[in-house]
Amino acid sequence: MNTITLKSPFDMHIHFRDGDMMKVVAPLSSANFAGGIIMPNLVPPVDTKEAVIAYKSRVMDAIGDDDFIPFMTLFFKPYTKEFLSDVRDKISAVKLYPAGITTNSEGGVESIDTVALAPTLNAMSELNLPLCVHGETNGFVMDRESEFMSVYEELAIAFPKLTIIMEHITTKDAVNLVQQYDNLYATITLQHLLITLDDVAGGMLAPHLFCKPIAKRPEDREALVNIAVSGNEKIMFGSDSAPHPKHAKENCGCAAGVFTSPIALQALTQLFEANNSLDNLQKFISDNACKIYNMQPRSKNITLIKKDFKVPEYYEGFGEKIVPMYFGDTLSWSIKS
């Protein structure tokens, strides 16, 4: 196969940031995708109706004329049903961060107490509003996600009608759990399908591959690839594309996040092809997300052709450079312009 057309590709987990950075990165997503879930961890977090509307407006400005739907989200806090009802038609999900677990998550929840959170989560269930979760404890870095599995189970049992999205899963444990409860779903990033901790810290330290959750063991990656390429209907693509200026990545105390938006479709096509699963890419990149979020696909299609794509060393704007995953490398699929 030398071309593949992806119908309505969605990126179900993106960090557009804000201001100057968003002006650089949002168009790199909107060029290649039909829409995406825009995460709310700004400073301050997006936690009011006004903030959602204002952020969406800035996102639309950054996108310009591209045909791209930003699915807005709220930063999880205890919200009333009244508030959530009022904001429901402006948002696609609410994103829960344990406090301090990743970039700009300081205002997240201190402990995940299903009793204390019940009013908010019951209201979300009734409003069919999905809960997206950054599922990590503050334990040892390689165990944080696995240690969080009991929290996911507790949430899944306590709120059986709530759609719970296990964001950016990285472990075999998460792959196993997502299949055990009807109301659990998951996104998987590009990098967690491609790298392990070896790529981050096995040779030289590789700041541009450092993210949270950190890439795990070979058997974890294998489990992620297997479920993604199978087309399993619980699994969606969410890049977690998370840009930082080059100097904030390549310094002492490198920030967490891998920037993948502009290379994601090309690299995913290469990966699915290598796994003889190109037929399932449509499910991973759009169909499953439409079912899980109860959305209609857009009419936008993206065609890829089997032709070398040299990944830029960096993207540029506002006097900063933003380095993508695979900078300087060559991928075997390109987006047809």
**Residues near a copy of itself (CB under 8 A):** 140-142, 196-198, 200-202, 204-208, 210, 214, 217-218, 249-256, 323
**Distance of alpha carbon 257 from alpha carbon 284, whole angstroms:** 22
Residues 169 and 224 sit within 8 Å (Cβ to Cβ): yes
Quick one: 249 or 300, whose CB is closer to a copy of itself?
A: 249
**Distance of alpha carbon 162 from alpha carbon 173, whole angstroms:** 21
Quick one: 98 or 207, whose CB is closer to a copy of itself?
A: 207
Q: List the one residue out of 298, 307, 311, 262 whose CA is nearest residue 3.
A: 307
Task: Let me know if 89 is a catalytic residue.
Answer: no
Quick one: 200 or 265, whose CB is closer to a copy of itself?
A: 200
Which of 240, 279, 287, 329 is flagged as catalytic? 240
**Distance of alpha carbon 15 from alpha carbon 36, whole angstroms:** 10
Q: What is the DSSP letter of 283?
A: I
Q: List the one residue out of 30, 13, 4 whose CA is nearest residue 300.
A: 30
Place of tokens 């003889």: 276
3-state class (DSSP) for residue 159:
coil
Q: What is the DSSP letter of 54?
A: H
Quick one: 23 or 144, whose CB is closer to a copy of itself?
A: 144
CB of 200 to a copy of itself, least distance (A): 7
CB of 139 to a copy of itself, least distance (A): 9
Which residues are part of the catalytic machinery?
240
